[in-house]
Structure 1
Amino acid sequence: MNLTRKIGRAIAAGLLTLPLLAYGALAAEDIFDLSPDQPGRVRAEKDPAAIAAIPHDFKFVSPGRFTVAISPGGPPLATYATDAKTVVGADPDYALAVADSLGFDLELVPVAWADWPLGLVSGKYDAVISNVGVTEERKEKFDFSTYRQGLHGFFVKADSDVKEIREPKDAAGLSITVGASTNQERILLKWRDENVKAGLEPIQLQYHDDEAARLVALRAGRVDVIVQPHAQLAYIAARDKNIKRVGTLSAGWPERSDVAIATRKGSGLADALTLATNHLMKSGAYARLLERWQLAEEALPQSQTNPPGLPKS
């Protein structure tokens, strides 16, 4: 797609304004396509191994269709397109590629985040692809096929003096905004304790109720850093150009925490979906899909069925 068409799509999606164009603030490669037609979607070939691994007694919700629940929480993972009804984003694209690998059509079912567990158990859909992290508690009820790392991102104002945050000492003395009772808070409290034990300045946590409030606090200079799921902030940084990433953090720190397709426990479908994902990785479709939504850093080297998850609290 040429630059003119990309700019046109960006304006239609509300991601670009004429004043920004005048200053060249948004590069073409940073534009996310939120149009309903999605001409740049990555498609995949059938994977005979994955198809053969589908249990003979598994009954799909609709014959010939892979029915997937997804929660449109926001770009770039899943959101409503400019027509306000089509769900687009990295997770819908991934669901489509998996459906292609299985030789099925895709049926997306938008659901509220809180509703997916009951809907999956009751058989309303075949799988959930909606940024679901693997945890030991969830593994008691569901099977998982991993497809992306769970990353949090450290972002600062574009003109900030903070250059890099990779470990606790890098955040010593900084003021960081987080949500209360979140995984980010859990990790940063451990970082703060480590810094205090090492004789460094403690991290100062400030709590804000939602993303909008956290971003206002950052842009107003009331905090130095915002930390929350990386994908959300990567989208905002590409769109607004006034914040930048200075580091990432595994959601399972100090271990890695992965995002996975969730399926009913014991249904037998997980192994087929793991094979399908590994097929996408080998073919290059997986890398192209993540790159399309600027999520290349969240790539996994391979998919696994039911790997270790976050421990029970």
Structure 2
Amino acid sequence: MRISKYLTLAASAVALTLAVGAAQADSHLKSIKIGTEGAYPPFNNLTSDGKLEGFDIDIANALCEQMNVQCEFVVNDWDGMIPSLIAGKFDAVIASMSITEERKEKVDFSDKYYNSPPAIAVPKDSDITEATDAGLDGKVLGAQSSTTHSNYAEEKLSSADIRLYPTPDEYKLDIANGRVDAVIDDVIVLSEWLKSDDGACCKLLGTLTPDLVINGPGAGIAIRKGEDDLREMFNEAIIAIRDNGKYKEINDSYFEFDVYGE
């Protein structure tokens, strides 16, 4: 009888612990903090009055609505994005972060939510004619630090003098003022910049063939290791907004093609 009583008590305690844990997990998943950079238009950008806008932001809001969760955005410097995620400053990163094996050693990722190739931009009067290592030999090439684009430059375009910047704004300023000869970034980011008054200095030289190891299969949502439920929620929501037309609605408000890719 005593054994049976203890077993019953133990079972009750375990059930209570599991119930509390489940309630806490459920409560957590009803409110999610999302980290983003706010300096990478047209994907994420802070307006002059401090509001976030861009494709990443609209997709994040659509995913949150699909998951029926309340989402709060936290603006964070790109270089500290993964450390801040791991430290618990936010629960997920939606900031055009490419899924790479190097990053997967530290965090988990959802499936991709878009994929676009890198490209090179140069001044309109540039004598650079090829978006190749040979074509950039001895030239100063600007890139945002801690990105797949800077990694690509260092690995594939090493004949150039590579100069790294904390955000794209700095390299854009330097190429406009003649301090760098070329810049590398996502083709969409560069193309949208070149359409603006600030990008009137420059032109697109050409796109680059992505390297799967360096560039990964696309941009995904970064999540702390072990938070499988949250990752699966995002994966299911990505599929759902692709199927119900919400993704296309957002996509078409920014781009003339399906940025999701193959």
TM-score in terms of structure 1 length: 0.59
CA shift, 1:96, in A, is 0.4
- Secondary structure, in 3 states, of the residue corresponding to 2:82? helix
The answer to whether structure 1 residue 156 and structure 2 residue 122 are counterparts is yes
Structure-2 residue corresponding to 1:59: 25
Consecutive unaligned residues of structure 2, counting only runs of 5 or more, are 1-21
Which residue is equivalent to 2:69? 104
2:226 counterpart of 1:261 = no
Q: 1:281 aligns with which of 222, 242, 249?
A: 242
User: Of 25, 39, 46, which aligns to 1:73?
Assistant: 39
Residues 251, 61 of structure 1: CA spacing in aligned structure 2 closer, same or farther, 3 A cutoff?
A: farther
Matched, 1:187 2:152: yes
- Among all aligned residue pairs of Structure 1 and Structure 2, give the percentage whose two residues are the same amino acid: 23
Q: Give me the CA root mean square deviation.
A: 3.8
Partner of 2:85: 120
Structure 2 residue aligned with 1:227 = 184
Shift of 1:77: 2.2
Structure 1 residues 104 and 250: alpha-carbon distance in aligned structure 2, compared to 1, 3 A threshold? farther
Report Cα offsets for 1:182-239 as digits up to 9, x if no partner. 654553455457xxxxxxxxx5436475756644664466765322343442332121
Aligned residues: 235
TM superposition shift of 1:136: 2.2
Q: Does 1:83 align with 2:43?
A: no
Equivalent residue for 1:43?
none
* Cα separation, partners in 2 of 1:279 and 1:251, compared to 1, 3 Å: same
What are structure 1's unaligned runs of at least 5 residues?
1-55, 194-202, 302-313
Residue aligning to 2:203: 244
Aligned residue number for residue 260 of structure 2:
299
The residue identity in structure 1 corresponding to 2:106 is K
Structure 2 letter corresponding to 1:80: L
Q: Is the 8 A contact 1:152 1:251 kept in 2?
A: yes
Deviates more, 1:257-266 or 1:181-190: 181-190
What letter is aligned with 1:228? D
Structure 2 counterpart of 1:100, which letter? E
The answer to whether the 8 Å contact 1:250/1:256 transfers is no
Residue 138 (structure 1) aligned with residue 97 (structure 2): no
- Cα gap change, 1:299/1:168 in structure 2, threshold over 3 Å: closer, same or farther? farther
Worse-superposed segment, 155-164 or 279-288: 155-164
Per-residue Cα deviation, 1:91-138 (whole angstroms, up to 9, x for no partner): 111110111211223321222334443443344433111222223233
What SS class does the counterpart of residue 125 from structure 1 fall into? coil
Partner Cα separation in structure 2 for residue 222 and residue 122 of structure 1: 37
Distance change >3 Å, CA 296–CA 126, structure 1 → 2:
farther
The answer on whether the counterparts of 2:100 and 2:214 sit within 8 Å (CA) in structure 1 is no
Measured at CA, do residues 61 and 92 of structure 1 come closer, stay the same or move farther in structure 2, by a change above 3 Å? farther
Query: Quick check: which has more Rg, 1 or 2?
Result: 2
SS of 2:101's equivalent in the other structure is coil
Quickly say closer, same or farther: Cα 1:114–1:76, change in 2 above 3 A: same
CA shift at 1:177, angstroms? 1.8
Matches of 2:214 and 2:81, distance apart in 1: 26
The one-letter amino acid of 1:96's match is N
Q: Which has the higher helix share?
A: 2
**Match of residue 177, structure 1, among 137, 141, 164:** 141
